[in-house]
């Protein structure tokens, strides 16, 4: 089932917004003109990543400063689990997620 999140026309560089889907908080961002959907939860200790800083495609968690690549989802630091990433789906003029 397709769950729409946002209209394509609103996906501008710098876009960042959270959505609740099936009890999970998801974070949709546009980085390098590419939409990326991740869980809004740091894999380290669960801080919300919606408040993270962004440098290039590297997202840095505000709580302890661990960094994650939005291209690969991997943590920059060895030994830390990567981001929980979701595949985006498209229907009409909307981007969303298949659940
Ligand atoms: S909770 Fe994100 S770095 Fe620790």
What domain range includes position 25? 2-98
CATH number at residue 69: 2.102.10.10
Closest Cα to atom 1 of ligand 1: 45
User: In the structure encoding, which two tokens stand for residue 32, read together?
Assistant: 């390098």
Residues at CB less than 6 angstroms from ligand 1: 42, 44-47, 61, 63-64, 66
Q: pLDDT in tens for each of the 99 residues of the chain?
A: 999 999 999 999 999 999 999 999 999 999 999 999 999 999 999 999 999 999 999 999 999 999 999 999 999 999 999 999 999 999 999 999 999
8 by DSSP, 3-state: which? Answer: helix
User: In the structure encoding, which two tokens stand for residue 76, read together?
Assistant: 């920059």
Q: What is the pLDDT of residue 81?
A: 96
Pairing label, strands 2-7, 53-55: unpaired
Tell which atom from ligand 1 comes closest to the C-alpha of 62: 2
Residue 97 · residue 91 · CB < 8 Å: no
Please give the distance, rounded to the nearest whole angstrom, from the Cα atom of residue 20 to the centre of ligand 1.
21
Domain count for the chain: 1
């Amino acid at each position: 089932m397709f769950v729409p999140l946002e209209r394509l026309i609103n996906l501008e560089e710098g876009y960042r917004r959270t959505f609740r889907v099936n009890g999970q908080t998801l974070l949709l961002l546009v980085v390098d003109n590419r939409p990326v959907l991740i869980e809004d939860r740091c894999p380290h200790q669960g801080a919300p990543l919606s408040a993270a800083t962004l440098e290039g495609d590297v997202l840095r968690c505000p709580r302890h400063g661990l960094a994650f690549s939005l291209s690969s989802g991997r943590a920059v630091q060895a030994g830390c689990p990567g981001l929980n990433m979701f595949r985006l789906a498209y229907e009409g003029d909307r981007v969303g997620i298949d659940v």
